[in-house]
Amino acid sequence: MRFAPQLDALPEWSCFYTVDELDQRTHDLAERYPDKVSVTVEGHSRERHPIRVLRIGNGKRNALFYACPHPNEPIGSVMADHLAELLCTDDELLAQLDTTFHIIKCIDPDGTKLNEGWFKGPFTVENYARNFFRPAGFEQVEWTFPVDYKTLHFDRPLPETQVLMKLIEELRPDFLYSLHNAGFGGVYAYITREAPDWCEELYALAKRFELPLSLGEPEMPYAVRFADAVYRLPSIEESYDYLAENTDKDPAEIIRSGASSFGYASRFCNPFTLVCELPYFYDPRIDDLSESDVIRRDAVLNRLKQSETLFKAVQAEYDKVSGLLSKTTSLRTAVENFMQTMPAGIQAERTFASKNPEMERKATVAELFDSQAVHPFYHLLLVGMVLRVFDAENRDRSDTVFGDAWTAVDKIFKEHHEMVVANLDYKVIPIRNLVGMQLGAGLEALARL
């Protein structure tokens, strides 16, 4: 492993950086290494927070790294912060990579601030779910690039997205690294073209940092598999066609958002694009390929039925008080968008599972675990967001209608949380291991360009 010295020297992190801490660390780095790093403000967020881009190196290739494309995914911000420091202090590494780095430690500062309630711990499923925020698709930086495909016409890029559009057009990057991470499960990756030798390095990195591969159900049922836990980066066009084939609705009504950064970059260049997904929490069943006694289709369909029951219960309580809500916030927009699009999403997956011949075999333990534990974990996050919408109103819970709805949703949260943790034997993964995995995967990809 060619980057072993850099990976061995990783420090320990006990928590994640806030947006203000990232800004201060950028300022401090520029002051310490004025001849090695330049910092420019390339735009502002919707709440007018400056978006800073660090430029390091003067190599023949351009690489664009950006963290927090989804604001509940701060592993990449720690990695980007460490990478910037590493490039300023390791001249040999910088020369070896022959790359000009453009690094954004946080592309969605507004949304990231709404997640800071769990950034300092405790790192439990409950604390994460009660302080979680993920925006609606049309307010996600990663999925608001312009697209014009069949009935899907989206041209409302966010100010943050426009920063990336400008950089992509100017830099024509050779390497594009959108720093995502998952919440629960194992390591998996999306790349834009097959790279068998890089996959082997990915597996070696996972072993080095004691991280499981995600070998259960793929995040997107239609994802094209290149290798174990490695998929072709899906496009918005593929999502559209999947929905068109498996629902009776216009896919544009379900998607409501735009293309990805790679979809936009492909207009100007052909960057090797990497997404390396990492979990905060781990259960050993996530990479168990032994056969279970449950048919894969039955596991998926049963999970979808449970999802439908949960969301209908939450929706019923939300509908009772929706007319009383006075604050239009990103949290509320996200919750209402999810509730509007969720039924069609369940329909599409049910149709796909019902007719896919791959669903006829027995599920592996990993696939069954995905259906019985991982998906319910993610469902808990929506319930937590509903409670946050209610809490933002600052209403007296003695108000019968509002108070009863809040109590009912909190009861749903507690019962669902109890079910989730009862089905899990989870541990919290050290941040150092996650940063090392994401850093190593990126460096190995760069070395192979």
Measured between alpha carbons, how far is 119 from 201 in angstroms, rounded to an integer? 30
Q: What are the pLDDT digits (tens) for 381-409?
A: 999 999 999 999 987 767 788 999 999 99
State whether CATH 1.20.140 applies to domain 291-425: yes
Residue 33, classified by CB atoms within 10 Å of its CB into exposed (0-12), middle (13-18) or buried (19+), is middle
pLDDT at 50: 98
What is the number of other CB atoms lying within 10 angstroms of the CB of residue 196? 9
Q: What are the pLDDT digits (tens) for 435-448?
A: 999 999 999 999 99
Q: What are the pLDDT digits (tens) for 126-158?
A: 999 999 999 999 999 999 999 999 999 999 999
Measured between alpha carbons, how far is 101 from 59 in angstroms, rounded to an integer? 8
| Architecture field, domain 4-283+429-447 | 3-Layer(aba) Sandwich (3.40)
Q: What are the pLDDT digits (tens) for 301-339?
A: 999 999 999 999 999 999 999 998 999 999 999 999 999
pTM: 0.95
pLDDT band, residue 226 (cuts 50/70/90): very high
Sequence ranges of the domains in the chain = 4-283+429-447, 291-425
Name the packing angle between helices 375-392 and 330-355 (round to 10°).
Answer: 160
pLDDT band, residue 430 (cuts 50/70/90): very high
pLDDT reading at 88 higher than 90? yes
pLDDT at 400: 81
Q: What is the mean pLDDT of the chain?
A: 96
Q: What are the pLDDT digits (tens) for 262-292?
A: 999 999 999 999 999 999 999 999 999 999 9
pLDDT at 115: 98
Measured between alpha carbons, how far is 198 from 202 in angstroms, rounded to an integer? 6
